[in-house]
Amino acid sequence: MNECQIALTGNPNSGKTTAFNGLTGANQYVGNWPGVTVERKEGKWKQKKNVLIQDLPGIYSLSPYTPEEVIARDFLLEQQPEAILNIVDATNLERNLYLTTQLIETGIPVVVCLNMMDIVEKSGKQINFQKLAYSLGTKVVGISAVKKRNLDEAVEKTLQQVESAEEINYPQYDKRLEAALNEITGVLGTTVSKKQARFYSVKLFERDPQIQKTLRLNSEQQKEIEEIIKITEKIFNDDSETIVINERYDFIARLTALCAIEEDELKLKLSDKIDQIVTNRWLALPIFALVMWLVYYLAIQTIGTLGTDWVNEELFGSIIPNTVQSWLDNWQVAGWMQSLILDGILAGVGAVLGFLPQLAVLFLCLGFLEDCGYMARIAFVMDRMFRKFGLSGKSFIPMLIATGCGVPGVMASRTIENEKDRHMTIMVTTFMPCSAKLPIIALIAGAFFPNSSWVSPSAYFLGIGAIILSGIGLKKTKIFAGDPAPFIMELPAYHLPQLKNVIRYSYDRSKAFAKKAGTIIFVSSIIIWFTSTYTFTLQEAEGDQSILAAAGRLIAPIFAPLGWGNWQGAVATITGLVAKENVIGTFGILFGHVEEVSENGQEYWQALQSAFTPVAAYSFLTFNLLCAPCFAAIGAIRRELPDLKWLAGAIGYQCGLAYVVSFIIYQIGHVIFENGTLGFGTLLAIILIFTGIYLLIRKPKNLGKTPVGVLPITEKG
C-alpha cells in the first residue's frame, strides 16, 4: 500500500497525544488540560512505516471559532487524510460525540476510538459497542491510550475501513432539515466533490462565512441557498446555526439512550466529594495557596535544596573547580585562560546548573498536580473568579503552561477565541515565574530570607496577582473592554498520576533548562567574564574599572529608586533579557569567585548581602519577575500580537508595572523593615498605591454594546 495518513482528532484532553505517543513511539508532552497541542505533529506508525499519524490540536467542533479549530479543519479539508481516528473520551461520551457527528460529515472515513476505557470499566459503566457502531455508522473500538491497550488494533481497523471503501452513512437529522440539506446539495451540483457535498451543505446552511468565501458560489447559487435557509428557519422558528446544533444534540441523545449507558455512582461520587471541597467557593483559594506553598516548600526550601546545596557547594564549589584547576595547572594553561574557564564559564554555568535539583523537584510536584486532575480544577476555580471581573478562565491555562516556559505559554493563548482577551492574555502571561526565573527566586530566598518559607511561594503569587490585577485593570480600558468568552472545560475524573507522565513532565523541562545552560548561558558567561575582567584598553580591570562596570553604572541610576542602584544588579537585569538564567550566571561571575567558595556558599552569599539589603533584594526579585521576559518569549509575543505597536505596548506595560511594583515594595518596605526615613519616595509610593486601587475599582470605560454591564461598583463583598 502507498503512504496513508491517519489524523487523530478529538476534544481537548481526550488522550490524542497519549495515543499518538503510543502509536509512534514519539515523546510528545502530555497535558491534563485543554489546549496543550497547539500545532499538529506528525509521526510514523511503529508497525508500518508507511502509515503517517497526525496529532491534531484538540477541538470541540469544526466551526472554526479558535485558531486551533482552523488548523484542524483546514488540515482535514485540504490535506484530505485517508482516515480520521476520532479519539473520544468515553467518560464524557455526549460532549465528545458532538464533534464525531461533524467529522463523519467531512466524507473522510472515521473510526471512533473510545478512549479511557480503563476508567469506564473501573467505574462499572457499560457501553454497548455494537449499538453505538450501528447508530453512528462507523467502526467503534475501545482503547486505553495510557495502558496502550488496543491502540494498534484501532489503527488496523482504520486501515481496513480505508480499504473497504464503504459508503459513508451520515447522521440523520429531522426530515425538514434533511430536505433543506438535500436541496442545497442540489444547488451546489458539481461545485464540490460528491464526498464533501454533505459537509459543505451543512456548513452553507449554517452560513459559515469562511466556507462561503472559499467556495466562491455564483450569485444565483447564493440566492437560492439563502432562500432555502430562510424557509427552513421559518419552519423551525430558529436561526439556522441553532437548528443544526439542536439537531446534532438530539441525534446524540437518541444514540446514547439506545446504547443504554449505566452509571456507577461510586467513583463519580468520590470525585464529586473531593470537588465539593477543593472547588468550594470559600475554600478553593486557600487550599490552592496552601498547595502551592507546599510545592515551593518542598522544591526550594527542603528536598530540592539538599540537591542544590550539594551541587553548589560540592560539585561546582570544590570538586569540579579543583579538578579542573589541577588539570589546567598540569597542562600549564595560561593564566587568562584559567580565569576564563574557572571564573567565567564554571562560575556562570555552574551557578545556573546548581538550581537544577530544585527545578526538577518543582516540576515533579507540578506534574503530579496536573496529572491527577487538580490543575484542571484550579482553572475552573479561577474561571469563576475571573468571570466576576469580566475575564475568561481560559486565560489561566496559558499561565499554567508558562510555569514551565513563557514561549509555549504565550502560544497556548491561541485557545482563546475572543481577540481582546487573547491579546490581554499574551501581554500578561509571562508574569508567571517560569523555570528560568526560579533560580532567581531560590537564590534571593536562600541568601536573604533563609528562615522564611513564604518568600519563594510569594513570588508565584506575585505573578498570579500581577496577572489577575492587570486583567481587572486592563478590562476597564477601552482597548480591552467586552464580555468574556465562555469557557467550557470538562473536569477529568481524578486519577492517580502516571509515574511515567510525571517524570517525563519534569524530565522534559529540566532537560530544556540544562540545555540552555550549555548553550546560551555558556556563551553569555564568556562575554560577561570578558567584559567584567578587562577595561576598555584591554588591561586587567582593577576594582570597578571593567567594561561591564562602566556600562552598568550608566544604567544603574534608573534602578536606584528600587533600592538596587549598584551596577551589578543593573547588568544582571539586562543580561536577563537574553535568558533569565543569566541573572544568576552574572551574579555567579560577579560575586562568587570560585576559589573562595570552596568551603561552602557563604562567601558568595555574603558578597550578595553586602550589595543588597533584604528589601532591595526582594524588589530586585520582583522587578526581574515582572519585567520584559527573555528574547525567546518576546519573540513569541511578537508572533501572537498583531503588530509592533502592540509589542511595544506589551513590553512597555510589563516593564512599567515591574518598575512601579518594585518601587512600592522598596520604598514602603525599606521604611517599615529597615528603618528607612520617610521621604518623597514614600509619598510617591503611597500615591501610586492609591492610583492602582483607583484603576482597579473605577467604573469601566464604555463597555460597548451591553450597557447593562456598566454596573456601578458600590460596596465590596
Give the start-end residues of each E strand in 435-587.
none
User: What, of Mg ion, ligand GDP, none, does residue 119 touch, CB below 5 to 8 Å by kind?
Assistant: ligand GDP
Set of cell numbers at residue 44: 510514523
User: What, of ligand GDP, Mg ion, none, does residue 146 touch, CB below 5 to 8 Å by kind?
Assistant: ligand GDP
- To ligand GDP, the closest distance from the beta carbon of 33 in angstroms equals 8
Question: Does residue number 24 form part of the binding site for ligand GDP (CB under 6 A)?
Answer: no
- To ligand GDP, the closest distance from the beta carbon of 344 in angstroms equals 42
Going from the C-alpha of 214 to that of each of 104, 206, 217, 406, the distances in angstroms are 21, 15, 9, 35
3-state secondary structure 341-371: HHHHHHHHHHHHHCCHHHHHHHHHHHHHHHH
Question: Does residue number 248 form part of the binding site for ligand GDP (CB under 6 A)?
Answer: no
Question: Does residue number 145 form part of the binding site for ligand GDP (CB under 6 A)?
Answer: yes
DSSP 3-state of 119: helix
Question: Does residue number 159 form part of the binding site for ligand GDP (CB under 6 A)?
Answer: no
Window contacting Mg ion (CB under 5 A); options: 12-20, 143-151, 381-389, 557-565: 12-20
Euclidean distance between CA atoms 13 and 663, whole angstroms = 42
Q: Residue 252: which of 262, 265, 261 has the closest Cα?
A: 261
Question: Does residue number 162 form part of the binding site for ligand GDP (CB under 6 A)?
Answer: no
Window contacting ligand GDP (CB under 6 A); options: 14-22, 152-160, 176-184, 625-633: 14-22
**CB 163 within 8 Å of CB 155:** no
**CB 79 within 8 Å of CB 71:** no
Question: Does residue number 501 form part of the binding site for ligand GDP (CB under 6 A)?
Answer: yes
Report the residue number, 46 or 207, with the smaller CB distance to ligand GDP: 46
Euclidean distance between CA atoms 253 and 648, whole angstroms = 50
CA angle, residues 107, 110, 115, in degrees to nearest 5: 155
Question: Does residue number 95 form part of the binding site for ligand GDP (CB under 6 A)?
Answer: no
Question: Does residue number 417 form part of the binding site for ligand GDP (CB under 6 A)?
Answer: no
- To ligand GDP, the closest distance from the beta carbon of 373 in angstroms equals 8
Question: Does residue number 58 form part of the binding site for ligand GDP (CB under 6 A)?
Answer: yes
At 14, phi and psi to the nearest 5? Answer: -90, -5
Question: Does residue number 37 form part of the binding site for ligand GDP (CB under 6 A)?
Answer: yes
Question: How much helix, strand and coil, in percent to the nearest 5, is found in the chain?
Answer: 65, 5, 30
Residue 41 DSSP label: E
- To Mg ion, the closest distance from the beta carbon of 439 in angstroms equals 29
Euclidean distance between CA atoms 327 and 156, whole angstroms = 59
Which position among 4, 5, 6, 17 is part of the footprint of ligand GDP (CB under 6 A)? 17
User: What, of ligand GDP, Mg ion, none, does residue 64 touch, CB below 5 to 8 Å by kind?
Assistant: none
What is the pattern of x (binds ligand GDP, CB under 6 A) and - over residues 367-386?
A: ----x---------------
- To Mg ion, the closest distance from the beta carbon of 609 in angstroms equals 46
Question: Does residue number 17 form part of the binding site for Mg ion (CB under 5 A)?
Answer: yes
Distant-in-sequence, close-in-space partners of 388: CB < 8 Å, separation ≥ 6: none
According to DSSP, the β-strands at 51-55 and 83-89 are: unpaired
Which position among 5, 14, 37, 115 is part of the footprint of Mg ion (CB under 5 A)? 37
Which position among 212, 498, 535, 598 is part of the footprint of ligand GDP (CB under 6 A)? 498
Which residue type, as a one-letter code, is found at position 37? T
User: What, of ligand GDP, Mg ion, none, does residue 393 touch, CB below 5 to 8 Å by kind?
Assistant: none
| Interacting residues toward ligand GDP by CB under 6 A | 10, 12-18, 30-32, 36-37, 58, 115-116, 118-119, 144-146, 371, 495, 498, 501
| Interacting residues toward Mg ion by CB under 5 A | 17, 36-37
